[in-house]
Amino acid sequence: MRPSAVQLDVATYGESLALLVADQVGAFEDVEKYTRRLAGAETNVAIGLARLGLKVGWLSRVGDDSFGRFICKRVAQEGVDVSRVVTDAQYRTAIQLKARAVDGADPAIEYYRKGSAASHLSPADFDPDYFGAARHLHATGIAPALSASTMALAHHALDFMRARGKSISFDPNLRPMLWPSQQVMAQQLNALAAKADWVLPGLSEGKILTGYTEPADIAAFYLDRGVSLVVVKLGEQGAYYRSAQGEGVVPGVPVRQVVDTVGAGDGFAVGLISGLLEGLPIEQAVRRGNRIGAFAIQVVGDMEGLPTRSELEAASRAD
Ligand code: KDG
């Protein structure tokens, strides 16, 4: 029997991976030492929101193995509800390697995730009471890339939340190595994006998904499909936003040193989602997104840099 529903601000679903970050610079085959951390776009966002004090729940499947237990323990330690994470007796928890980043360049990664426990998530894992009790759904383009059943879950979750008038954010999080082709990736992710309220592509992602090169055209592509707000992330330049109410560019937050870019987009999503759920005007929510994105890139791990509420407030006051 499923435990009774928890009242959530934000619900999400997807795969988390045991992340092994190289302790030394170089090719994976030459690295001898790795530090174990946590990866997963959805749990990065869930943890960031929980650090700001929101109630967040995460649906997933993990293997009945040490990495699965590590992931559940680590995510729960951050205050995210893991009561809907299923331990799968048959399939393993996924692993990701990440290279030591050099001079702010995107680090190389390698996945061991095909056929993983989370790739067996399906609509049968979706608890309507749990999701129905949440105000907001955060979805990414990674979970649906894993298998036909995770794609079915993604459509099911977005359709369910949409039918109940909940807000939905969608970050395409392009991972081409998980898709059979760029064309299939674009077509399938655009179909999901059209079911969301807030769509958050990076500029290069928006170009791949829509064929347009300008942020305004990328935004128009999604607004024409019924999305209410599009924010195109522009890296250190900040972010461009557009909705029926207007458009603008919010400049980026400078950082002293970019340590590792992975997780910047998840940090951005934390700021935007929390800001909009708290009723901030779009421009201020985007500003918060830029700020938290800047926190995320100053550390080696994917989510360790995400701020608590007081750290966020201190950084905002320092401006
Ligand atoms: O956005 C950061 C994530 O991409 C990272 O933590 C790992 O979820 C991950 C993935 O599938 O690449």
Query: What is the share, in percent, of the chain residues with pLDDT greater than 90?
Result: 89
Ligand 1 atom with the shortest distance to the CA of 302: 6
Instruction: Show the CA angle centred on residue 211, arms to residues 214 and 229, nearest 5°.
Output: 60
Cβ neighbours around 120 below 10 Å, total: 18
Q: What is the pTM of this model?
A: 0.96
pLDDT for residue 259: 86
Which residues are 239's β-sheet partners?
Answer: 233, 250
Q: Identify any residues that bridge with 52 across adjacent strands, giving them in sequence order.
A: none
pLDDT of the residue at 318? 78
pLDDT tens-digit map of 242-291: 999 999 999 999 998 888 888 899 999 999 999 999 999 999 999 999 99
Cα–Cα distances in Å, from 169 out to 45, 94, 139?
11, 25, 6
Secondary structure letter of residue 317 according to DSSP:
H
Mean pLDDT of the chain: 96
pLDDT in tens, 121-140: 999 999 999 999 999 999 99
Q: Is the pLDDT confidence value at 166 over 60?
A: yes
Residue 71 CB–ligand 1 contact under 6 Å: no
Nearest-atom index, ligand 1, CA of 16:
8
Q: At residue 5, does pLDDT exceed 70?
A: no
Contact 15, 143 (CB under 8 A): yes
Q: Among the atoms of ligand 1, which is closest to the Cα of residue 175?
A: 12
Q: How many Å lie between the centroid of ligand 1 and the Cα of residue 81?
A: 20
CB neighbours of 310 closer than 8 A, spacing ≥ 6? none
CB 205 near ligand 1, within 6 Å: no
With a cut of 90, say whether residue 301 has pLDDT above it.
no
The per-residue pLDDT for range 31-67, each reduced to its tens digit, is 999 999 999 999 999 999 999 999 999 999 999 999 9
Beta-bridge partners for 37 = 19
41-51 and 66-77 helices cross at what angle (nearest 10)? 30
Q: Which domains does the chain have, with CATH numbers?
A: 8-317 (3.40.1190.20)
Local confidence band at 103 (pLDDT 50, 70, 90 cut-offs)? confident
Whether ligand 1 lies within 6 angstroms of the CB of 293 is answered as no
- Set 81, 88, 125, 266: catalytic member: 266
Q: What is the pLDDT of residue 102?
A: 85
> Which residue has its alpha carbon closest to ligand 1 atom 10?
40
Q: Could you give the dihedral angle defined by the CA atoms of residues 306, 310, 311 and 314, in that order, rounded to the nearest 10 degrees?
A: 150
Task: Report the nearest atom of ligand 1 relative to the CA of 264.
Answer: 1
Best of 106, 146, 262 for a ligand 1 pocket test (most atoms within 8 Å of beta carbon): 262
pLDDT digits (tens, 9 = 90+) for 214-252: 999 999 999 999 999 999 999 999 999 999 999 999 999
Residue 263 Cβ inside 6 Å of ligand 1? The answer reads yes
Long-range Cβ pairs for the range 154-160 (8 Å, 24+): 154/192, 155/192, 155/195, 156/123, 156/126, 157/13, 157/126, 157/131, 158/192, 158/195, 158/196, 159/195, 160/126, 160/128, 160/131, 160/132
The per-residue pLDDT for 1 is 55
To test the pocket of ligand 1, the residue of 16, 17, 37, 45 to mutate (highest count of ligand atoms within 8 Å of its CB) is 17
User: What average pLDDT does range 301-307 have in this prediction?
Assistant: 90
pLDDT at 87 over 80: yes
Q: Evaluate: CB of 44 within 6 angstroms of ligand 1.
A: yes
**CA of 142 relative to ligand 1 center, distance in Å:** 8
> Does the active-site annotation cover 266?
yes
For the chain, helix (H) and strand (E) counts, in that order, are: 10, 13
